[in-house]
Amino acid sequence: MKEQCNWLIVGLGNPGREYEKTRHNAGFRAIDRIAEKLNVKIDKLKFQGLYAQVNLDGGKLFLLKPQTYMNLSGRSVLQLSAFFKIPPARIIVLFDDISLEPGRLRLRKDGSAGGHNGIKSIIQELGSQDFPRVKIGVGAKPHPDFDLADWVLSTFDPQEEKALGPAIDRAADAALCIIEKGIAEASNRYSGKA
């Protein structure tokens, strides 16, 4: 019998309609897809975020969209995980990655922030970088001088959006696979696929 435990899946993004379709909100889109698959609404407002709770093999699965804006995401993650006693190893974070082309995924068991401010905030607040993550490719800046903030807050062109749709779906499946089969198996199945 499986150990009964709680899990948290966090999708990173910025709240507000004007950010919905931006590159930085790929994590929000993926967590919304998980909510659809599990037939729940992420609509409880607490812990500086919107969250949903699902029963899972005797434990509970929480889906969280921090409402703090990207750079302070860790505050929301810490509040919910501390309240429900969820250790970092059972916190899965879905977020945008500019080093991957749209449509590609990369799964990681742990690691540094890699320059991502949302991840940096989570590491800082949790005091740990030992949490699994699903990186969703959103494409690199068009040229080195392009402002990074402007880039991640830009929207996808139609071709990129077409590649992103299936990737969002796979990112959702990958996060659920981490819970079910572990990070190694999920990584084999979903990392690098386009």
Active site residues: 24
Rounded distance between C-alpha atoms, residue 10 and residue 171, angstroms: 12
Residue 138 phi, psi (nearest 5): -125, 5
Both structure tokens of 95:
């977020």
Q: Buried b / exposed e across 59-90, counting CB within 10 Å, b at 16+?
A: bbbbbbbbbbbbebbbbbbbbbbeebebebeb
Nearest to 13 by CA among 70, 90, 83: 70
Please count the helices (runs of H) and the strands (runs of E) in the chain: 6, 7
Rounded distance between C-alpha atoms, residue 111 and residue 104, angstroms: 19
3 state DSSP class of 93: strand
Rounded distance between C-alpha atoms, residue 105 and residue 44, angstroms: 29
The DSSP element (H or E) to which 166 belongs, if any, is: helix 158-181
